[in-house]
Structure 1
Amino acid sequence: MLKSIFLRLLVTYLLITIFVITSMTFIVANIYKNTVFKEEREHLESVAQRANSLAQDYYNQLISEKELNSAVNAMGYSTESVIYVLKINKEHFAEHQKLLLSGLNEEFVAQDLKLVLDGRKVFRQEQYSVGFGTYVLFSGSPLTINGKVEGAILVISPINNLNQNIARMNLIIWAVAVAMIIVSVPFVYLNSRRISKPIKEMEVTARKIAAGEKADHTVIFSQDEIGRLANSFNNMKDQIEKTEKMRQELIADVSHELRTPLTSINGFVQAIIDGVIEPENHGEYLLLIQDEAKRLIRLTSDLLDLAKLQSGGIEMYKERINLFALVEGVLAVFSPQAENKELSIINRVAQELYVRADSSALKQVLINIISNAIKYSPAKGQIIVNAEQDSNHVRLAVCDNGIGIAEEDLPYIFEKFYRSDRVRNSEDKSTGLGLSIAKNLIELNGGSIWAESTERRGTSVIFTLPVDF
């Protein structure tokens, strides 16, 4: 039941709306009722004060008894109440309290009259009166003559009309509440749809992705959590598609790169088995087979290293490194190759320059870059390694005067297996992963890498690393 998030939101919002409106309606109705009774109480007390003033005038012989009765009856008529002006003292009432007073044979009257004669005001709200046969408001005030309590003024008012007015007002209040609930239903529905729709769209998109189908972006014009969730979901979808594309490209590239050496090895072995190659030439072809096997080993090793880098499987141990010493060590490794091609390799890195990086990673980066520089430089060429420092980074460049890279190839040289058509058609035996590995290692050390080149004039591979003072 209610397995849909839309239904859960709809029911939840409706219940909250009904609860809030019902509670507010109940509170308003009670406030109105209490206000009406409060106003009526104040009105009855003002009537009692007026009656007390008339009684005082009577006892001071300012008005006659007839005038007193007329005025009191007129006030009772105008207020729809019965007014009693009783001249009785406390002691007399205590002796004769069991006597039935005319029109006042109510148990609550006798009880409250004691309090009034003690100088206190009494008010009863919704008190049932047997004499009136209905609920009444009862107000009792002391009758004071010249500052002394000489009796009581009792005002009894049926509340039929009050209750009718309150009932009519309650009907209006509850009708408005029902109307508000009805009017709020479309807004609750639309808001529930607004929240649940993008989640539903993301669910459909996720199902398509899981089924291997192409899915469009979830478009949400919102800056709240749902909008941010949709953006994150779209980014995740793009990353999945990018990863899938990379996986397919990797399979295609690996298949292509493995096919050539495997085909060569298989062809040489088959030729030896079939006797096409003379026994005295077996050694030469076995060396060729060994070269292709070594190429396969390098390829698989580079692929494993690249996979570890991209998956975060290699942890960087950053330390303070003297860049000049590190470059010197790497150039020493390439000294034999440079001599064979009569290359001049110059280290122009300042001896006091330090960077913060993983030394093994930085060494591998330099090996990959300098190896390419030597490979694509002409005999008697020149390779220069220089560096400069700004406030936060060291910028190191490996520059050669080799064959260069075409402008259209520059944006892609750091991709896996990428080599220009000219290089692919050459006798080059590289795996095409060196610069891709270098790029990942530099980025893991907090730097960036790029290349600048002009065809037939040389190439500069440049990277930056955080400086360490």
Structure 2
Amino acid sequence: MRKLSFKLGLLFFVFVLGVETVLFVALYVTLVHAKVDEEFEQLLARGNNHRAVLESHYDEVTLEHVVMMESEAETDVVITDEKGDILYFSDHILPFAKKIIPHADARHIPHSGMVVQNNWKNESYIATASPIRMDGKTKGYVYMFQRTASIQNMIAKLKHHFLVVGIVSVFLTILTMFFLSRVITIPLIRMKQATEKLSKGDFSVRLQVKGEDELAQLGKAIQTLATDLEYLKKERNEFLASISHELRTPLTYVKGYADVARRPNIAEEERAKYLSIIYEEAEHMQKLVKDLFELAKMDQHSFQIKKEPTSLCLFLKKIYEKMYPAFHTKNMSLVYRCEENVTVHIDQQRFEQVMMNLLDNALKYSRQGSTVSIDVKTEKKNVILIISDEGIGIPEKDLPHIFERFYRVDKSRSRTGGGTGLGLAIAKEIVEAHGGSIHAISEFGKGTSIIITLPRGE
């Protein structure tokens, strides 16, 4: 991750430095042009002011006064007649003026004046010219000169300022990029450490994730994965422990009673009794293995559901006819109410397995003389099946867990009192494979209702 941090920081730095360089160069060129143009404008404005004074008072005193004013300034002035002959001039400017004035095309100089020498980089002076017009005729010209050293000094200072600001900007950019790369990579480092723990089987990963950006979403996904894996590990351990317990007990019975039945001096009646117990335990193991096989197929997504349009009332009538004798034997009533015939898309064999399991549980945990009922209710898009009994009920603390594998409400009940602990888990998987849902409501000591919701068929 340090390499990633360095690469990200370097990438950001190069990109930002490139942007800053382009912006700084553009700003520098713009400022230089603006400052140089400002110097030209100020020089031309000064020449136009002198020209305006001379147009009002064109006499020797005024001419000398203009020259005297420029002798105390950083600029110089040259005044010529209409032919370009020099009349008045500031000190030291005459040699350069004689080079510029003959080459200036005075006929094309507008009354507002113009720049006649703008090469501030290579020449020692810049110059402007303003024509003096009186009574519609050109009386002469005012030439203004300014040393380019002042402009070059200004540009040098500007370069210095830009260089200092540039160095500070690069330094701040480096700090910012380092900070940003760390901000980005620190969560990635924590996620890498978390995934390394997950790969080693340590699922106790806790990532502190803030925000809603992509990194935060990745962190939440890893945290969810860790939580799910931790839950699956716990569930797997419990599952294996439950299987071990469920198989160990019947195997102990089988081995123990088989050893007794093998004794040569045992009575045939007693041997038959032990063999009967061995057979019952073998049946129990067979049912357990069958249920485990069903769950394994569901987990591997090889569990096939073949839906077909089914009349729900006719389907429930067949279930009723199959289960009625068992209820009658225990002196219990089984009723079903399905007034409105509706069609549902179900796998009849699989859904019969669900109904038989639920009714078998109701039969086991209800008192003699009580009633178990099957009710059908219809909604706009769903069909609701309610299997209700008047049995012992389920404690509130156990109710959320009854559809978990191997979960038993009565942990100490005898083996003859219940099945494998997988029936409701299988029923839940089958119902959800049909696109439905299943849940239970119960009041301890008064009874339980299992509610199945299925999509209504077209």
Q: 2-side partners of 1:26 and 1:138: how far apart?
A: 28
Structure 1 contact 117–149 (Cα < 8 Å) conserved: no
Letter in 1 for 2:8: L
Q: How does 1:57-456 map to 2 (within 5 A)?
A: 62-65=57-60, 67-72=62-67, 74-75=69-70, 78-83=73-78, 85=80, 87-88=82-83, 103-104=96-97, 106=99, 113-114=104-105, 116-119=106-109, 121-127=114-120, 134-140=123-129, 144=133, 146-147=135-136, 153-213=142-202, 215-273=204-262, 275=264, 288-310=277-299, 312-314=301-303, 321-355=310-344, 359-421=348-410, 424-428=413-417, 430-456=419-445
Q: Deviations over 1:71-90 (max 9, x none)?
A: 1463475352444535238x
Q: 2-side partners of 1:456 and 1:10: how far apart?
A: 68
Structure 1 contact 144–151 (Cα < 8 Å) conserved: yes
Q: Percent identity?
A: 26
Q: How many residues align?
A: 447
1:346 Cα deviation (Å)? 0.4
1:399 Cα deviation (Å)? 1.6
Structure 1 range deviating more: 268-277 or 359-368? 268-277
Q: 1-side partners of 2:425 and 2:29: how far apart?
A: 77
Structure 1: gaps of 5 or more residues? 93-100
Q: 2-side partners of 1:459 and 1:178: how far apart?
A: 78
1:245 Cα deviation (Å)? 0.9
Q: 1-side partners of 2:151 and 2:318: how far apart?
A: 104
1:274 Cα deviation (Å)? 5.2
Structure 2 contact 129–143 (Cα < 8 Å) conserved: yes
1:376 Cα deviation (Å)? 2.8
Q: 2-side partners of 1:148 and 1:288: how far apart?
A: 139
Report the secondary structure of 1:24's partner residue: helix
Structure 1 contact 88–152 (Cα < 8 Å) conserved: no
Partner in structure 1 of residue 17 of structure 2: 18
Q: 2-side partners of 1:354 and 1:69: how far apart?
A: 117
Structure 1 range deviating more: 262-271 or 322-331? 262-271
The structure-2 alpha-carbon separation of the partners of 1:305 and 1:188, relative to structure 1 and needing over 3 Å to count, comes to: same
Q: Deviations over 1:27-70 (max 9, x none)?
A: 3322221121111121222234334445655xxxx422453254
Q: 2-side partners of 1:234 and 1:370: how far apart?
A: 41
What is the CA RMSD across the aligned residues, in angstroms?
Answer: 3.6
Q: Deviations over 1:197-227 (max 9, x none)?
A: 2221121122122222353411133333322
Partner in structure 2 of residue 95 of structure 1: none
Structure 1 contact 357–465 (Cα < 8 Å) conserved: no
The structure-2 alpha-carbon separation of the partners of 1:74 and 1:170, relative to structure 1 and needing over 3 Å to count, comes to: same
Structure 1 contact 449–462 (Cα < 8 Å) conserved: yes
Q: Deviations over 1:91-148 (max 9, x none)?
A: x9xxxxxxxx964564x8766x24x53346445433466xxxx443233456655446
So what's the TM-score if we normalise by structure 2? 0.82
So what's the TM-score if we normalise by structure 1? 0.80
Q: 2-side partners of 1:142 and 1:318: how far apart?
A: 103
